[in-house]
Chain A
Amino acid sequence: MQPALSIRNLSKTYASGFTALKGVDLEVQPGEIFALLGPNGAGKTTLIGIVCGLVNASGGAVSVHGDDIVTDYRKTRSIIGLVPQEVSLDAFESVWATISYSRGLFGKSKNPAHIEKILRTLSLWDKKDEKVINLSGGMKRRVMIAKALAHEPKLLFLDEPTAGVDVELRRDMWAMVRELRATGVTIILTTHYIEEAEEMADRVGVISKGEVILVEDKVALMRRFGKKRLELELVEPLAALPASFEGRGLELADDGRRLVYLYDTQAERPGITSLLADLAAENIRFRDLETRQSSLEDIFVDLVRDRT
């Protein structure tokens, strides 16, 4: 099967001399939810801009479902949907009109039933005759998504889709993305909210300073880089760690009321059993314990920091 998106050695240097992309290679499979993570200025939006036709590449090639984005732009663009970072709408148009316009612009004949379905899914149906200018910020963002879906794209780009939106919209959007995926749509999202990638993505790519530094299955990534944190809530606070615990990676927290142990889940001997046995031997008792997997955010911060 052809990849939904194939990027080969893609580079972009702006007229100012700034190099936004340095030979990026990336492949996204049909039906996948792919999260592209990276700090500000990493090149995420430039990459999306090139695929969608907003930015001219300086070098390399991009194909969408096997078709080149330059020579077969009509084919590729008609199946791509884009929700850009900025909300840009025609303020004086009605919601219905602006979404119908998008469908026409992408070469599709009228289909009121489809537009109604999108509006209902995005809780915009009762606003369909409202002028865009009268909508709240969250509603405008929903309209942006509706416009991108108007022509039934097979590959959807969501560039920072939930930046500055409320919890309700974020949840609705996650639900919608899952629904779209169920119908076979490939979704590529860029985000600052790592929890978003963690919640939804099948695979994660990390981009930093114009280079893709890692692409990996999300679960594998978390397993590979993931550390676990064991926290013990002590019955009696400790003023200091007993000498026998020195050099074992233990820390006291919360004024000596908590003992924190960071361990690698992949290690052959995580050292939990011996730690608990040694605590018992020292007569250090605890009333509760919890373990926590490090989040994708921790992993991401580590990765980007290691590169800089």
Chain B
Amino acid sequence: MNFQAVKAIYTFEMARTFRTIMQSIISPVVSTSLYFVVFGAAIGSRIETIDGVEYGAFIVPGLIMMSLLTLSISNASFGIYFPKFTGTIYEILSAPISYGEILLAFVGAAATKSIMIGLVILATAAFFVDLQIQHPFVMMLFLVLISVSFSLFGFIIGIWADGFEKLQIIPLLIVMPLAFLGGTFYSLDMLPPVWQTISLANPVVYLVSGFRWSFIGTSDVNVWVSLGMTLVFLAVCLAITAWIFRTGYRLKT
């Protein structure tokens, strides 16, 4: 294994994160804080408890999840798209590095950044609400698995995209609506039965539900089902990246 190369790409990507610290770290923290202020403190104070939990604390896992999904995708897609756009990808493709190593470096860096931000948002949340984490290990497991899966998904988008517009389409038009409708701000029990059933087709429901279980100990969907769905998503993304690398799709002519 070419450790030096993985380290070089990983370090480069992380350095990019810190170079753009305002955009990478501070802005998600600020926007999440705004959600806490608006939904948690202002509106939440007028909402009764859900599953015995204050509304402000109830939305914490969903808000973290929403940031994790969007940031993992944007970090990883930008990370691989930008060298394609500037042409510097030639150096990576001509280096003695396997596709697996390229993936490890790019996805590893994007996931690291997402996990960091997830934890920062968690710490931020502690300022606004009385936070409890009943299953911290499960919480970390979901945090890592979801960051990795969606960074992989972002990597795929970055390879597929042939313009900046395409980088934005999937996060904005698919992921964001699914995240909003995935139980970030509500429990599925609060929906009419038809919508409860329809919601089960939304993959984000399983992620939010599982993650929330690790915090408050109750969930809309069984935690094992959530974990299973996360692993299925991870496996699908891995299979697609394997195909990309085997065919050289949008990387090699």
Contacts and interface: CB of A to CB of B under 8 A. Distances in A.
- A and B found bound together: yes
B88 A88 contact: yes
Contact of A104 (B7, B86, B248): B7
Interface stretch (B42-50, B94-102, B201-209): B94-102
B6 to A, nearest CB: 9
Interface in B40-84: none
A52 interface: yes
Q: How large is the interface on A (under 10, 10 to 19, 20 to 34, 35 or more residues)?
A: 20 to 34
B172 interface: no
A77 B94 CA distance: 7
Given A105-B95, A108-B4, A88 B87 contact: yes
Instruction: Output the residue of A55, A74, A80, A104 with the most chain B CB within 10 A.
Output: A104
B4 to A, nearest CB: 5
A53 B93 contact: yes
Interface in B156-193: none
B175 to A, nearest CB: 27
Instruction: Output the residue of A80, A86, A90 with the most chain B CB within 10 A.
Output: A90
A84 B12 contact: no
Contacts of B7: 104
A74 B93 contact: no
Main SS of the interface on chain B?
helix
B90 A88 contact: yes
Instruction: Output the residue of A76, A82, A91 with the most chain B CB within 10 A.
Output: A82
Given A14-B253, A56-B248, A74-B2, A106 B86 contact: no
B5 A105 contact: yes
Contacts of B92: 105
Q: How large is the interface on B (under 10, 10 to 19, 20 to 34, 35 or more residues)?
A: 20 to 34
A93 to B, nearest CB: 8
B253 A56 contact: yes
B253 A55 contact: yes
Interface in B10-28: 11-12, 15, 19
Nearest to A92: B19
A225 interface: no
A55 B252 contact: yes
Nearest to B98: A74
B96 A73 contact: yes
A87 to B, nearest CB: 8
Interface string A60-80: 000000000000011111101
Q: 7 tightest CB-CB pairs across the interface, nearest first?
A: A104-B8, A88-B87, A77-B96, A74-B96, A78-B96, A52-B94, A105-B95
Interface of B: 2, 4-5, 7-9, 11-12, 15, 19, 86-88, 90-98, 248, 252-253
Given A56-B248, A105-B4, A105-B92, 20 more contacts: A14-B253, A49-B253, A54-B90, A56-B253, A73-B96, A77-B94, A78-B96, A82-B90, A84-B87, A86-B87, A88-B90, A90-B12, A90-B88, A103-B8, A104-B5, A105-B9, A105-B95, A106-B95, A106-B96, A107-B2
